[in-house]
Amino acid sequence: MPVRPLLALAAPLALAACASSRPPPAAPVPYRSMGDILQASAPSDWRPLREEDAVVLELPGGRVVIELAPDFAPRHADNVKALVRGGYLDGLAVLRSQDGFVVQWGDPDGDEPGKARPYPRGAERKLPAEFTRPAAGLAFHRLPDPDGFAPETGFVQGFPAARDPRSNAAWLAHCYGAVGAGRGEEADSSTGAELYVVIGQAPRQLDRNITVVGRVVDGMEVLSVIPRGPPPMGFYEKAEQRIPIRSARLVADLPAAQRPRLQILRTETATFDAMVESRRNRRDAWYKVPAGHVDLCLVPIPVRAAP
């Protein structure tokens, strides 16, 4: 909430009488903020970062941690891991920073035969599109709020996702921090060698049009402040404007002392549900009108340093 700098944060208060579009509960309960709820969480509400499926990028501005989503994009996740393990990304660079949309990295000469950096052993140059997957078999924790882009939205093990019961399809949603695999016009032209990260208003029109391969779980503030390239698409015009990727490593391959020790709130827990409700209806002293609604991409997915 935008407040004056010296104002203390509002204390939790019972505000059942404030102007909401929903009726107040019969027995008013004290409002619990997201901070209160997380503080009262149990250790079992959190899961560790999956180290075999997590990548650390080192940029001049700091460290970025990406968790891959093999449940949604197994072939792309495997290929990203093979590329990272083969050192493919080391010394490549952020090539694009488009305000309100994405930053994107890869090989600037990737489309020029003879100049393109060779793929390491084990990385494939051709993959199927992984835009959607069958919804069956997926532990989909549904968000009750309506959504304009999908019949249903929710969370799958810490990833914002969507689902269409009629077609039995599920897919990852393009929320802030989503990591996708850049492609050309052909649906199956992505390999994971070139990745983009959403830094602006959730571009949900990309859903089901491109393979989402993971999510930034730490270090978004390193990516989001990268100077923008020229409009309309934000590709830098000069090589020296590019932001180098010093290294990319699988977390599981790092020495133990260098691994990020992160925990992610389990999105299938009552703690997470309580947090969502605290965002849907803010009933602290600052908010005068609770929204009665939350958007999929406005729901924070808490990450913390392992205690």
Residues in 76-95 at the binding interface with a copy of itself, rule: CB under 8 A: 95
Cα angle 21, 24, 27; round to 5: 170
Applying the rule CB under 8 A, the residues between 21 and 40 that interact with a copy of itself are 35
Contact between 14 and 31 under an 8 Å Cβ cutoff? The reply is: yes
| Positions in 42-71 near a copy of itself (CB under 8 A) | none
Q: How far apart are alpha carbons 286 and 99 in whole angstroms?
A: 31
Q: Tell me the one-letter amino acid at 275.
A: M
By CB under 8 A, name the one of 45, 130, 194, 218 that touches a copy of itself.
194
Nearer to a copy of itself, 36 or 51 (CB): 36
3-class SS of residue 5? coil
Q: Which of residues 139 and 230 has its CB atom nearest to a copy of itself in the complex?
A: 230
Q: Which stretch binds a copy of itself (CB under 8 A): 42-50, 232-240, 255-263, 265-273?
A: 232-240
How many angstroms separate the CA atoms of 46 and 302, rounded? 9
- State the nearest-atom distance from the C-beta of 71 to a copy of itself, in Å: 21
By CB under 8 A, residue 184 contacts a copy of itself:
yes
- Are 239 and 23 in contact, with CB atoms under 8 Å apart? no
Q: In one letter, which amino acid is 212?
A: V
Side by side, the strands of the sheet bearing 169-172 are: 133-134, 169-172, 159-164, 152-156, 141-143
β-pairing, 93-97 vs 102-106, is antiparallel
Specify the stretch interacting with a copy of itself by CB under 8 A; choose among 75-83, 100-108, 258-266, 268-276: 100-108
| x-or-dash string of contact with a copy of itself, 273-302, rule CB under 8 A | ------x--x--xxxxxxx-xxx-xx----
Task: Evaluate whether 262 touches 239 at the Cβ level (below 8 Å).
Answer: no
Q: Is 204 in the site for a copy of itself (CB under 8 A)?
A: yes
Ramachandran angles phi, psi of 81, nearest 5°: -65, -40
The site for a copy of itself, by CB under 8 A, has a size of: 72
Judged by beta carbon, residue 158 or residue 203, the one nearer a copy of itself is 203
Choosing from 106, 192, 260, 302, the residue that interacts with a copy of itself (CB under 8 A) is: 106
- Positive or negative torsion for Cα 147, 153, 155, 160: negative
Q: Would you count residue 162 as binding a copy of itself (CB under 8 A)? A: no
175 binds a copy of itself (CB under 8 A): yes
- Does 159 participate in binding a copy of itself (rule CB under 8 A)? no
- Work out whether 3 is an interface residue with a copy of itself (CB under 8 A): yes
> Is the backbone peptide bond immediately before 5 cis, with ω within 30 degrees of 0?
no
Q: Does 165 help bind a copy of itself (rule: CB under 8 A)? A: no
Count of alpha carbons within 13 angstroms of residue 123, beta-carbon side: 22
Applying the rule CB under 8 A, the residues between 113 and 152 that interact with a copy of itself are 131, 145-149
Nearer CB in complex with a copy of itself: 104/267: 104
Q: H/E element holding 84?
A: helix 74-85
